[in-house]
Amino acid sequence: MLGSVEGHRCLEIGCGGGGLIERLLSQKAACVAALDHSPDMLALAMAHNQRAVADERLQLKLGDAAEIPWPDQTFDAAVSANMFFFIEEPQRVLDELFRVLRPGARLVIVTTPGPLPKASLRNWWLYVWGPALHVHSNAQMESMFSRAGFVNVRIESDDTLQCCQGSRPH
């Protein structure tokens, strides 16, 4: 969904163990910055991407997506995969993502669509995780993206995945 990242300065929020970081770097991103609020996850991402850190192609920071620790208009692309459902203040995070993106830059968020189905044996995980998840309908995501200032907003979903994209106007 992010398209070509070749030569781009990319940001991932909620990077976890760093699998997506590896992909962005292998797709020739100029550099990647990644944020996670878990020191353990950040240590894993560091361990998996030591070479890129040493080569200064990867910068990892401990922090919260509600206060992204990079200056205004730093990145050409930003991505959030499998983490937006943890976010308690989604509009604040989208405003922050807009702030750190350059004019014309793209944002892609892949998350779980709302509303969640009723928990059942088939969806057993919803008994455990459901109450803690913050999920939003396509219309809600579209409205929050637009309120943050994003244009060319496209939100698509099936039963399990919601893919949201937008760009900062030129």
Binding site for ligand SAM (CB under 6 A): 13-16, 19-20, 35-38, 41, 64-65, 81-83, 86-87
Shortest spacing between CB 88 and ligand SAM, in angstroms: 8
Closest to ligand SAM by CB, 58 or 151:
58
Closest to ligand SAM by CB, 20 or 155:
20
Q: Give the HSE-up count for residue 94: Cα atoms under 13 Å, Cβ half-sphere.
A: 25
Q: What is the DSSP string of 30-55?
A: SEEEEEES-HHHHHHHHHHTHHHHHT
Q: Which helix (H) or strand (E) holds 21?
A: helix 19-26
SS (H, E, C) 90-153: HHHHHHHHHHHEEEEEEEEEEECECCCCCCCCCCCHHHHHHHHCCCECHHHHHHHHHHHCCEEE
The Cα 134–Cα 71 span in angstroms is 27
Closest to ligand SAM by CB, 139 or 158:
158
Shortest spacing between CB 67 and ligand SAM, in angstroms: 9
Shortest spacing between CB 16 and ligand SAM, in angstroms: 2
Closest to ligand SAM by CB, 38 or 152:
38
Closest to ligand SAM by CB, 92 or 154:
92
Shortest spacing between CB 169 and ligand SAM, in angstroms: 26
Shortest spacing between CB 48 and ligand SAM, in angstroms: 11
Per the CB < 8 A criterion, the answer to whether 58 and 49 are in contact is yes
